[in-house]
Structure 1
Amino acid sequence: MKLHLQHIFTSICVALVAGHAVGDDNLSCKDWERQALLKIKQGLIDDYSHLSSWGNAEDKKNCCKWRGVSCSNQTGHVTSLDLRGTCTPFDTSYLPLRGNISSSLLELKHLNYLDLSCNDFGRNRVPEFIGSLVDLRYLNLTYAGYVGTVPDQLGNLTNLQYLDLRSNYHLDAKSLEWLSHLSLLRYLDLSEMDLSKATDWLQAIFKLPLLIELHLSSCQLVPPPLLLPLTNSTLKSLAVIDLSANYLTSSSLYYWLFNISSTLVKVELSVNNLQGPIPGDFGNMKFLQYLGLGANIFEGGVPNPFGNLSRLQYLDLSLNELNQDLPTIVRNLSGPVQKSLVYLDFGWNRKITGLLPDVTGFSSLRFLNLRDNKLSGSIPKSYGQLPVLFALDLGWNQIEGPVPDFTSSLSLKELYLQGNKLNGTSLGTSIAGLSSLLVLDVSTNSLDGVVSEADMSKLSRLLYLDLSSNSLSLEFSSEWVPPFQLDVIRLGGCKLQSHFPRWLQTQTNVSMIDISHAGILDTIPDWFWDHSHRIEHLNLSHNQIYGILPDLSSKFSEVFASIYLGFNNFSGPIPLFPSNLTALDLSKNSFSGPVSFLCNPTPFLTYLDLSDNLLSGELPDCWKSFGKLSILNMGNNNLSGKVPISMGSLSAVETIHLRNNHLVGKLPKSLKNCTKLTFIDLGQNRLTGKIPAWIGNKLSDLVFLSLSSNEFYGNIPLNICRLARMQILDLSLNNISGNIPECLGNFTAMASEESSSLTITHSFDSYFYPYFDTALLVWKGREFEYKNTLGLVKSIDLSSNKLVGEIPFTLPSLAGLVALNLSRNNLSGLISPNMGRLGSLNFLDLSRNGLSGGIPIALSQLSHLGVLDLSYNFLSGRIPESNHLLTFEASSFAGNAGLCGRPLPRSCPGDDVPGGGDNTGNHDGEDKLIDTGFYVSLGVGIIVGFWGFCGSLILSSSWRYAFFKPVNSIEDWLYVRIATTWARLWR
C-alpha cells in the first residue's frame, strides 16, 4: 500500500543525511575524530569484520572513507555514524557487533546521525552520555540489546527529529517527562518498552507539535485520563498512530483520538480491549488509508459512515465478536470506499452469518479474509472473476456446493477454502488455469472426483498444496513430471493408488509431506530417502507400507524434523534417526528387537510413540538426554526389566504410557521430579511395592493414573487425595489392602459435572499435530479404548483388591463421577442413601463384597445409570420397585440370599397371597383398619364355611334347590361386592 507517509519520511531522511558525503576526495577528517573512532572500534567485538576498513593502510588517515562514517563536505567533521547490523536471522549481509559503545563518541561533537540498531550490546544500559550529543537529529537504537531504564538525559537532544528505541531486551521508563523537551520530534517509536509506570505518556506526547508518526505498540500503557486538555496545536501533524497490543479500553481512548483525527492516515489499534459497537466517528477521518481494529471485543457490524472513506485501503476487523450478517456489512461498505479498499479482513469473528454476497463492486480488492465465521450457501461465480484479487480466504465456514471456476482470476496467488462443506467433482477444472497460484488449500471438505495431470499442468508457481481430508482421487502416471516445485504437500486421505507416488521424486525442495490415509500398499523406494534432506515433517501413517527402514541418521533437514510412520506394516529393527528429531511415531507396526537406538542422543525430541509393536529387551537407562520430551508412549510391547532411574530426568514429560509390557520392580523415586506429568498409564505389568506417597505430593497436575493389573500392595496413601485435578484413578487388580481413604472426596475435578474438554490433549513442538491421550477402561465387563471422549470420563476403579471397611461417606460428593467400581474386595457395611447424589453415574459395580442391609431407594434416582452390579453381597430386603431399577437383569442382584422382589425370581413374604402388598401403599380416604391380617383371616373363614355349608349343598339336592332360589336374588349384589373388594386388594 502506497501511503503519502513514504514521501514524508523520505524527505526527513534526506534532510538528516544531507551533506554527509565528502565532496572533495582530498578533504580529510579531523585527527581527534579519527582517534575517537578507533577507540570506539576497540570497545566493540567485530566478529564479521564490519569495521575492517577502520584504520587500514589505504584509508588510515581519512576516516571519512571508513565504512559507516560520513563527513560534512564543507568542514570535514564526522556528522554521521551508521553501525547498524542485521535485524533478521535470515539476512547475512550485516551481522551484529557486540561489546560496548565507548564514551569517545562524545569527541564527535558535530554528529547529527547515529544508528546503532540491530546489534547486541550485551544487555547493558543505554549510555547516558548519548544525551550530550546535542546536535543529533537522528537516533536509532532499535534491536540493540539494551536493558534498564531509558536515561532522562535523552531529553537534552532538543534537535532530535527521529527517535527509535523499539524492540530491545527490556527497556522501561518510569516517566516520559523528558520526551516533552524534544519539540522538533517527527518520528517516535518506543514499541515493546515497558511504560506501565509512565502515567504521563499521553501528556508528554501532546507536547510534540510536529510529530508525524507515533508507535507505542506493546508498551503496557495505562489508560489515558478521560478528559485530557486539548489545544489547537495538539498533534496537528500526526499522520500515523500505532497503539496496538496495549489492552486499552474504549472509554479512555476515543475522546482524544477523535479530536486529533483530521490528519490521521494510519490508525493501528489491534490487540486491545476495545468493546461495544465500532464507533461511526472513524468514518469522519477523511484522509484515513489504514485502519487496524483486529483482536478486540467489538460487537455488531460496520457503521454506515465507513462507506464514505474514499481513501481507505486497509481495513482489519478480524478476531472480534462481530455478529452482523455479511450482506449488511458489504452494503454498509458501499460507496466511495468500494473503489479504494485493497485489504479487507473479517476473519475469526465466528459470528458473522449469511450468504456470500456479490463483491464485484470492490474493484481494487486484492486481499479478502472471511475465515472462521458462520457463512453459508455456495460461493458465487463472481468470486472467481475479481480482476486483481491476490488472496481469498473462506476457510472454516459452512459453505456448500461446488468450487466455482477461478480460471479468470489470473492474479490469484492464495486460495483457502478448507474446513467447509464443499462437494462436487469440479475441483480440477476450477483451478486448472491459475498460473499465478502459490497456495491452494481445500482440505477438510467433501470433495470427490478426479484430479488429473492436465488439471495441474499450468500451476507452475504452486508452492503449497493441501487436498487432505477429502475423497479425491489423484490420477498421476508414474512418469509424470509436475510443472511446480512444492514446499508443502498435504494429501492425507486422498486416493493415491497402491504404489508409492513416483512423481514425488521430482520434488526436491519439499519441507513437508503428508500422504497419510492414502491407500499405499508398497515399500518406500530408496530415492525417497535420498531426497529427504530438506524435509522437516513427514507423515506416511495409516497406510499399508511395509519393509525395513534403512539407517536414517544422516537424512532429513539440518534444522528439525518430525516423522510419523505409525499404523503401517514396517518390520525389522528400529534404525538410527537424526539427532535433530523433534517427533517420532512408529506405533502400530511390527518393529522388533531392542530399543537401544534411544541412546543415540536426540536432545530436541518432544514426542516419542513406539507403542503396539514387538519390541523387547529392557528399557535403556539413558533418558537424561531427553530434556524436552513431552510425550512418551511405549505401551503394548514386550519390554522387560525395571523402570530406569534416569527416566526421572524427563522434566518436561506430560504423559507416560508403558502399559502392557513385562516391567518389574518398584517405581523409582526419581519419577517425582517429573512434575509436569498429567497422564500415567503403567497398567498390565508386574510392578510391585507400595503405591508411592510422592505421587500425591509431587505430581499435583495428574489427571489420569492407572496402576492396574500389577502387584502393588499396602494401603492407598492418603497423599493421593491431594490430586485435585484427578479424573480417572485405576488401581484395580492389585493386592492393595486397608480402608478406602475418606479423603477421595477431595478430587475436585470429579466433583464437577462438567468437563473442560472432550479429550486429554497435549501440545508439543512439532508440525501441526497435537497428541490425544488414549486409555483402556473396563466398561460393562469389557475393555474399551477411549480417545475422542476420554476427557468426559471421570472414574474410580479399585476393584479386585483386598480393601476392607465401609464405602467412604465422602464418595457421593463426587457429583461428576461417571464410573465407580469397588467390586471384588472385602468391603462391609451399608450402601449409603447418599449414593443418589451421584447424578452423572453411568456405571456402578459393588459386587462380590460383604455389603449388608437394604438397597437404598435413592439408587433409583440415578437416571443415567446404565450398568449396575450389586451381586454376591449380603444385601437383604425388597429391591425398590422403581421403573429404573426394574430395567436391570436379575444377575445384577444375584448372590444376595436376603434380597427379594423383581427382577429376582424370589418373591418377598406375602407377595404370593392376595392382598400381600405393602401396607405402606394405603391411599388417603381408605379404611386403614383393614390390613393384610384382616384379609388373611377372611380367606380362612371362607374356606371353612365353603366345606361346612356348601359341601352339604353338593351332597343333598333338596337343600341345594331350597338354598339357590333366594341366592339368585342377591347374585348381582354379591358380584359387585367381590369386584370392589378385589380392586382394593390389587391396589
Structure 2
Amino acid sequence: MMARKISIQLLHVFLLVVLLCLYPALAISSSGVGDDETIRCMERERQALLKFKADLTDHDGRLSSWGSTQEDMEDCCKWKGVHCSNHSTTSYITMLDLSYQDLGGKISPSLLELHHLRYLDLHGNSFYGPIPYQFSNLSNLRHLDLSYNPMLNSENLEWLSHLSLLRHLDLSGVVLSKATGNWVQSISNLPLLKELHLSGCSLPNITHFSSFGVNSSLSLSFIDLSSNGLSSSIFNWLFNFSSSLSYINLGANELKGSIPDAFGDMGSLTNLSLYGNQLEGGLPKSFANSSRLQSLDLSFNNLTEELHEFLQKLSGAENSLQRLALDGNQLKGPLPDFTRFSLLRELYIAKNLLSGPFPKITGNLPSLYYLSLYRNQITGSFPDLSVFPLLEYLLLQNNQLSGTIHTSIGQLHKLEYFSCAFNSLNDTFSEAHFSNLSSLWYLDLCSNALTFNVSSDWVPPFQLFAIKLASCTLGPSFPNWLRTQDKFTVLDISSNGITGSIPSWFWDLSPGLHYLNLSHNQINGLLPDLSSKFELYSGIDLSYNLLTGPIPLVPPTVVSLNLAKNKFGGSLSFLCSITGEWLIYLDLSNNLLVGELPYCLSHFKVLSILSLANNNLYGEIPISIGSLPQMQTLNLRNNNLSGEVPFSLKSCTKLSIIDLRGNRFTGIVPAWLGTHLTNLIVLILRSNEFKGSIPQEICHLNSIQILDFSQNHLSGTIPPCFSNFTALVDSTNSDVMTSFIYRAYYDGPYDDGTYVANAFVQWKGQDLEYGKNLGLLKSIDLSSNRLSGKVPKQIGSLARLNSLNLSRNILTGKIIQEIGRMGMLESLDLSENRLSGEIPRSLAQLNFLSVLNLSKNNLSGKIPSSTQLQSFSASAYSGNPELCGLPLPNKCPGEETPITTHAKDRSIELDEDRSIRQGFYFSMGLGFFFGFCGAFWTVVYNSRSRHAFFMFLNNMTDQIYVNITLNWARLRRRL
C-alpha cells in the first residue's frame, strides 16, 4: 500500500516536470491565436511604427493594415512587414521588411525606438533626404538594406562603425558622394561584415590608407563597388581582404593599367567582375592558380592579348569556370578550342578582333547554353554545333562566315535565339534545317544570300516572336508559312523579292505586332486601316514599294513611320490622328503628297527625324515646328513651300541637318541659324528666293561641313569670318556621322534603327545624291547669286574643304594667294565673275584638284607651268582674253614659233640631234653597266682591287657626266 502511494506521488512529480517543460512551447503556440493570452508588441515600439508611418507617403495604401482594426491597433506584430520575437509575454520587433512597397517621404528617426531590431529592409522605395545618423543606436542590426532609394543620401558613414554586429550592408543607389575617405574606415571597422553592396553610390576615391586593416573585418566575402567611378587606388584597400573574398564586382569604374596579379592569388575567389573599365594588356599569369573561379567578366576594357594565350592562363579554372565575358575588347587571333572548360555555360567574346575560321572542336560542352561571338572577323564556314547539344542562345552576326549553314543547327532542340545576320552565307534553307527547332522564338538571318525553299503548306515546328529575314529570298509571292505564326511581335522581310499585294489574311495574324518592315520589295495595292493592327509604341517601314492611294490611319502611338519612295497621294491630315507623343521618326519623302504642312506637327515632342522631301507640298512652314526640340534632321527638299523660314525654328537647337533646297522660300537668310543652331553639319538653302547678304552670324557654325546657298538672290560680300568653320579648318577633326540612331519601336533591347541622312550636293559639276558618305564631304557652294567684292583671303584657311564653288557672281579682285593652303581641294569653280590679275602659282600646289573652272573672268598673264594646271582642258581657262599659255592655244609674248631654217642647216641639225641621241643613250647604257658591275665587284674582290676599280670608275663617270651635260645642252637648244 505504501509502495503504491509512493508510486502515485512519483507519477505526480513526473507529470509536473513534463508540464513545466512543455509550458514555454504552449505559451508560444498560444501567442498567435488571438485569445487573452496573446503576446502583444511593446507599446513604445508600436508608437514608433505609427510615427514612422505618419512621416511617409503611401499612395497605394500598402500599410493600410497598420492599425486598421482594434485588434491590429493593439498588436503591431501582425502588421505588414513586421516580425516579432516570442520569448516573453511582450514581444520585441526584430524585423522590418518594407521592400518594394512604393513608399516615399523621409525615414523617421522614430525607428530608433526599435532597440531589438536585427533586420531592416527598405530597399526599392522612394525615400529621400539623409539617412538619420541616429541609426548608430540600432546596435543589434545584422542586416541593413536601404538600396535603390535614388533620392536618399548620407554625408557621413561614421554611424556604421557602431553597428558591430552587422553582417549584410546594402546602400546601392544611395548618394554617398559627400562621404569622404571615412567610408572606407567605417566599413573596415565592422568585424562580422560578410556582404557589402555599394553599387552606384558616387563614392569618392580613396586618398589615404594609413588606418586600413587596424580593426578590419576578416570575414568579408562579398563586395560590390560597381558604377562608382573609382580609380585604381581602391585596390590598396581591397587586397586587405584577399584571404576571405569570394565575390568581387568593380565593374563600371575608372580602373586603369594592368589587371593586378593579386586577384589571381585569391584562393577563395569564385566571381570576379571588372567590366567597363580601362584595363589594358592581358591576363596575369597568376590566374593559373584560380582553381575555384566560376565567373570572370572583363568585358568592355582595352585588353589586347591573343585569345589563346588568355585562355591558357586560365588553365587552373578548367574544371570550375562557368561564365566567361570578354565582350568589347581588342582580343585578337583565332578562336581557340574552348571545350577544355568542361563546366562552361556562358561564353561572351563579341566585339573583339578575332579572325580566322571557327576552330575544329575536339571535345564537347554539354553545359554550354549561351555563345556570343558577334562583331568579330571570323571567317570560313558555319561551325558544326552538335558539340553544344544544350545551346539556347547563338549570336554569330556581323562576322565573315561564308558558304552553307551546317545541318547540325537542326539538332539543337533547345535553341531559342539564333542570329547569324550580316555574314556572307549563301545557302538554300529547307524544312530540314528547322525540323527540331521547336523552342526557337528569335530568328535573325538578315543580310545573307539565303533562299527559303519550303513547300507552300509547310508548318514550322516553332512559334517565333521575332522574324528577321531582310535580304533573304522568300519571294516572289508572299510567304504562306507566315500564316502559321500568330505570336510574332517583330517581322522584317525587307528586300525579299516579294511582288504583288499583301494578302488580307496577313493583317489579322498577330495581335501583338510591334514592328513591321516590308520595305524594298515590289508590293503594290492599297493599305487597310492600320490604326488597330499594331501593339502600343510600334514601328512601321513600308518604304521603297509601289503602294498607292491615300495614307490610311496609323496606330495612335506609333514610334517610327517610314513610307518613303511609294506612290501615296492625298494630304498629310492623317498625321493629326496620331494622338500619342511617341513619334520619333517620320519619313514620307518621294511620294505624290499634296497640301500644306499640318499644324499638329507640334504634338510630336520627341520627333527627331522629319523628311518630307520630293512631294508636292505647298504653303508655309507652320510656326508650330518650333515645338520639336529633339529634331535632328529636317528635310523638305523639292516641294513648293514658300514664305520665310519661321523664327520658331531657332528653338530646335539639336538640328544637325537642314535641307530646304528646291522650294520658293523668301526673305533673308536668318542670322539665328548661326547663333542658335550651332550643331549644324549640313545647311542647304539652294534654289530658293532668299535675298539680302550672308549674315556674319553664320560663321558661328563651327561644325558645318556642307554649306549651300547657291541659286538664290543673295548680294553683298562674302564674310571673311568663314575661317571660323572649325570643321573645315582643323585637319585633326575626324569625319562626322550623318546617320542617326533612333528607337524604331518600344519592345526590348533590339529595337534600334538607323536613319541615313541624304542630300543632293553639286560635286565636280554634277548634282549627286549622297547618303552614307555624306559626312565625308566638305563643300561650300555660293554660286549663282549676286555676291560682290573680293574673295576673302581667310577662305584659304579652309584646309579640309573638298569643293569650293563661287561661280556666277560678280566677284572682283584677284584669286587669293592663300588658295594654295587648301590642300584637300578637289573641285574649284570661280567661273563667270570679274576676277582679274594673274593666276597665283600657289594654285599648282593643289595636288588633289581634279575639277577646275576659271572661265569667263578678266584673268591675265601666263598660266603657271605645272603638270596639274596643264592637265585641264582649255575650257577651264576660256573667256579670259588676256590669259595665255598652255593649254590655251594663244602663246604668251616671247613664246612665238621660231623662223624656219634652210634645208642644209636643217640637215645638219638632224644629224646633230641623231648624234645627241646616240651619245645620250650610249652614255646611259655604259653608266648602268659599270654601275651594276661595280656593285658586284665590290662584294667579290679585295680592297686593293676595289680601290683600283673605283679610280677607273670615277674617271669613267666624269667622262660620262661631261658627255651627258654637253649633249643635254645641245638638246635643250634644239627644243
Give distance in 1, aligned partners of 2:184 and 2:123: 22
Q: Look up the match of 2:647.
A: 669
CA deviations over 1:468-490 (Å, ceiling 9, x no partner): 11111112223222111112111
AA paired with 1:729?
Answer: L
2:831: which partner in 1?
Answer: 847
| Alignment correspondent of 1:901 | 885
Structure 1 residue aligned with 2:813, among 802, 807, 829? 829
1:506, distance to aligned residue in structure 2 (A):
2.1
Contact persistence 1:868–1:888 (CA under 8 A): yes
Deviations 1:429-468 (A, max 9, x none): 1201100011111111111111111211211111111111
Amino acid at match of 1:848: E
Q: Distance in 2 between matches of 1:430 and 1:585?
A: 38
Q: Which residue does the alignment assign to 2:743?
A: 765
Q: Distance in 1 between matches of 2:669 and 2:334?
A: 60
CA-to-aligned-CA distance 1:194-216 (integer Å, 9 cap, x gap): 22221111011111011000111
2:570 is matched with which residue? Answer: 593
Amino acid at match of 1:615: L
Q: Which moved more, 1:664-673 or 1:67-76?
A: 67-76
Q: For the residues of structure 1 that align with 2:393 and 2:619, how far apart are their CA atoms?
A: 54
Q: In the TM superposition, what is the alpha-carbon distance from 1:286 to its structure 2 partner?
A: 0.9
Change (3 A) 1:37 1:305: closer
* 1:133 CA displacement: 2.5
Q: Distance in 1 between matches of 2:505 and 2:967?
A: 94
Distance in 2 between residues matched to 1:741 and 1:127, nearest whole Å: 65
For residues 608 and 283 of structure 1, the distance between their equivalents in structure 2, rounded to whole angstroms, comes to 53
CA distance in 2, matches of 1:978, 1:535: 88
Match of 1:299 in 2: 280
Q: Could you say which residue in structure 1 is the equivalent of 2:327?
A: 347
2:377 alignment partner, SS class: coil
Deviation at 1:38, TM superposition (A): 7.2
Question: In the alignment, what sits opposite 2:193?
Answer: 211
Measured against aligned partners, the alpha-carbon deviations of 1:683-710 in whole angstroms (never above 9, x if no partner) come to 1001111112222222122111111101
Which sits farther off after the overlay, 517-526 or 434-443? 517-526
Q: Which amino acid aligns with 1:282?
A: F
Task: Work out which of the residue numbers 135, 153, 164 in structure 1 matches 2:145.
Answer: 164
Which residue does 1:530 correspond to in 2?
508
Tell me if the contact between 1:754 and 1:816 (Cα under 8 Å) persists in the aligned partners: no
Partner residue of 1:268 out of 225, 249, 256: 249
Deviation at 1:402, TM superposition (A): 1.4
Q: TM-score, normalised by structure 1?
A: 0.85
Q: How does 1:746-757 map to 2 (within 5 A)?
A: 746-757=724-735
Structure 2: distance between partners of 1:791 and 1:324: 34
The alignment's C-alpha RMSD in Å is 2.6
2:38 corresponds to: 28
Quote the Cα distance in structure 1 between the aligned partners of 2:967 and 2:126.
Answer: 102
Tell me the equivalent position of 1:333: 314
Contact 1:71 1:77 in 2 (8 A): no
Q: CA deviation at 1:277?
A: 2.0
Mapped to 2, the partners of 1:536 and 1:594 lie a distance apart of: 26
Structure 1 contact 384–409 (Cα < 8 Å) conserved: no
Partner AA of 2:559 in structure 1 = T
Query: How far did 1:346 drift?
Result: 1.5
Distance 1:134 1:857, change over 3 A: same
Matches within 5 A, 1:476-875: 476-558=454-536, 560-600=537-577, 601-757=579-735, 759-766=737-744, 767-875=751-859
The residue number in structure 2 matching 1:47 is 60
Counterpart of 1:201? 183
- Residues in 1 aligned to 2:570 and 2:539: alpha-carbon distance in whole angstroms: 23
Is the Cα–Cα contact under 8 Å of residues 319 and 347 in structure 1 kept in the other structure?
A: yes
Amino acid at match of 1:47: D
Counterpart of 2:377 in structure 1 is 398
Kept in 1, the 8 Å contact 2:52–2:110? The answer is no
1:117 aligns to 2:96 (yes or no): no
Identity of aligned residues (%): 48
**Pair 1:446–1:348, CA change in 2 (3 A):** same
Q: Secondary structure at the match of 1:258?
A: helix
Distance 1:20 1:640, change over 3 A: farther
Whether the 8 Å contact between 1:28 and 1:61 is mirrored in structure 2 is no
Quote the Cα distance in structure 2 between the aligned partners of 1:275 and 1:362: 29
Q: 1:695 aligns to what SS in structure 2? A: helix
Deviations 1:607-651 (A, max 9, x none): 000000111111112222111111000000011111111112112
Alignment correspondent of 2:394: 415
**1:177 and 1:692 mapped to 2: Cα distance?**
59
Q: Which residue does the alignment assign to 2:871? A: 887
Residue aligning to 1:177 = 158
Q: Distance in 1 between matches of 2:276 and 2:865?
A: 58
Q: Which residue of 2 aligns with 1:317?
A: 298
Q: CA–CA distance in 2 between the matches of 1:77 and 1:864?
A: 93
- How big is the shift at 1:253? 2.1
1:62 offset after TM fit, Å? Answer: 6.0
- Paired residues in the alignment total 877
**Corresponding letter in the other structure for 2:677:** L
Q: Which amino acid aligns with 2:571?
A: P
Match of 1:380 among 359, 363, 384: 359
For 2:965 and 2:142, the matched residues in 1 are separated by: 114
- How far the C-alpha of 1:74 sits from its partner, in A, is 4.2
2:315 alignment partner, SS class = coil
Alpha-carbon displacement from aligned partner over 1:381-402 (angstroms, at most 9, x marks no partner):
4288311111111111111111
Once residues 39 and 231 of structure 1 are traced to their aligned partners in structure 2, the CA distance between those partners, rounded to angstroms, is 40
Task: Say which is worse superposed, 270-279 or 806-815, in terms of deviation.
Answer: 270-279
- Greater displacement, 145-154 / 638-647: 145-154
User: Who is 1:363 aligned against?
Assistant: 342
Displacement of 1:360 in angstroms is: 2.2
2:442 to 464, 468, 479: 464
> What is the Cα deviation at residue 547 of structure 1?
1.2
**Amino acid corresponding to residue 435 of structure 1 in structure 2:** H
- AA aligned opposite 1:513: L
Q: Deviations over 1:373-420 (max 9, x none)?
A: 121222124288311111111111111111222134221111111111
The answer to whether the Cα contact below 8 Å between 2:370 and 2:391 also exists between their aligned partners in 1 is yes
Contact 1:182 1:208 in 2 (8 A): yes
Q: Distance in 2 between matches of 1:819 and 1:984?
A: 40
Q: 2:127·2:152 contact (CA, 8 Å) conserved in 1?
A: yes
Question: Equivalent residue for 1:227?
Answer: 209
Write the mapping of 1:71-82 to structure 2, written as runs, cut at 5 A: 71-75=84-88, 77=90
1:867 and 1:271 map into 2 onto residues whose CA distance is: 51
- Shift in Å at residue 871 of structure 1? 0.5
Cα 1:572–1:64 change in 2 (3 A) is same
> Does the Cα contact within 8 Å between 1:301 and 1:323 map onto a contact in 2?
yes
Alpha carbons of structure 1 residues 194 and 45: separation in structure 2 relative to 1, 3 Å:
closer
CA contact (8 A) 2:83 2:95 kept: no
Q: Deviations over 1:833-891 (max 9, x none)?
A: 11001111111100000000010010010111111110000001111110111111111
Distance 1:223 1:725, change over 3 A: same
Structure 1 SS opposite 2:539: strand
CA distance in 2, matches of 1:409, 1:475: 27
CA deviation profile, 1:250-275 (whole Å, cap 9, x unmatched): 2x222232221101110111112222
Asked if the contact 1:651–1:674 (Cα under 8 Å) also holds between the matched residues in 2, the reply is: yes
* TM-score (normalised: structure 2): 0.86
Alpha-carbon contact 2:85-2:94 (below 8 Å) kept: no
Contact preservation (8 Å) 1:22, 1:64: no
Q: CA deviation at 1:186?
A: 0.5
Is the CA contact 1:29–1:61 (under 8 Å) kept in the aligned structure 2? no
How far apart, in 2, do the equivalents of 1:155 and 1:41 lie?
21
Q: Hey, what's the Cα distance between the residues in 2 that align with 1:39 and 1:279? A: 50
